[in-house]
Amino acid sequence: QVQLVESGGGVVQPGRSLRLSCAASGFTFSDYGMNWVRQAPGKGLEWVAVIWYDGTNRYYADSVKGRFTVSRDNSKNTLYLQMNSLSADDTAVYYCARQDTAMVPPDSWGQGTLVTVSS
Amino acid sequence: DIVMTQSPDSLAVSLGERATINCKSSQSVLYNSNNKNFLGWYQQKPGQPPKLLIYWASTRESGVPDRFSGSGSGTDFTLTISSLQAEDVAIYYCHQYYSNPLTFGGGTKVEIK
């Protein structure tokens, strides 16, 4: 079955960096676009970034553009999110979610990893 | 950016009764080339990731009970739970995937009356 497992979250000081990973299994990873979506504590869902199935295109939310970088390694079935210049506003659970094509929404989500930005 | 506005913020419904959630997008999410609305609905229970219920505004995801239905077109959409069950207590989000940035509604919390 489809499995997405995020890792790399934790407590980090403002201004520092963190890299999240999302390990995929149970499907052909290289066939799917992948998204990062975050959810601040007690808040709604905020899309962060998407990377196409082959890595050729990437798009970001304005709130993270220039600070976050999404990447993937299809040989390792793994998605990444490099987060730099973190601030308290980035505190959230970060989910990875697969998306078959742009014609359909993300259909499978991981359990999420919590990132807390605090001094 | 397309802004998604849900109403109400919360609602309490008796078991077996109908629950209706509305969602309005700031611009049309109807993709003219295939006449499909790029609008989805998610259910999120506490401590869990979102679960896709509906896509293309009215197509149920595989395995989703048929008491869940979606309707609407263009900018106005509705999620209906025809007969609320205890396991339907959750927050429901509408979502547009018509254009980047992808955006979500603020959520509607459904509880048992």
Answer whether A41 touches B (CB < 8 Å): no
Answer whether A104 touches B (CB < 8 Å): yes
Q: Is the pLDDT of residue A34 over 90?
A: yes
Q: Looking at chain B, which residue has its C-alpha nearest residue A102?
A: B97
Give A63-86 pLDDT, tens digit per residue. 999 999 999 999 999 999 999 999
**Taking CB atoms and an 8 Å cutoff, what residues of chain B touch A44?**
93, 104-107
Cβ–Cβ under 8 Å, residues B50 and B44: yes
Answer whether A100 touches B (CB < 8 Å): no
Concatenated DSSP letters of A42-107: TS-EEEEEEE-TTSS-EEE-TTTTTTEEEEEETTTTEEEEEE-S--GGG-EEEEEEEES-TTS---
**Taking CB atoms and an 8 Å cutoff, what residues of chain A touch B44?**
45
Inter-chain contact B61–A107, Cβ cutoff 8 Å?
A: yes
Give B61-86 pLDDT, tens digit per residue. 999 999 999 999 999 999 999 999 99
Give B12-50 pLDDT, tens digit per residue. 999 999 999 999 999 999 998 889 999 999 999 999 999
Pairing of strands A108-109, A92-99: antiparallel
Answer whether A105 touches B (CB < 8 Å): yes
Q: Which amino acid is at A12?
A: V
**Taking CB atoms and an 8 Å cutoff, what residues of chain B touch A61?**
101
Confidence of residue A60 (pLDDT cuts 50, 70, 90): very high
Q: Is the pLDDT of residue A100 over 90?
A: yes
Mean pLDDT, chain B, rounded, equals 97
Answer whether B105 touches A (CB < 8 Å): yes
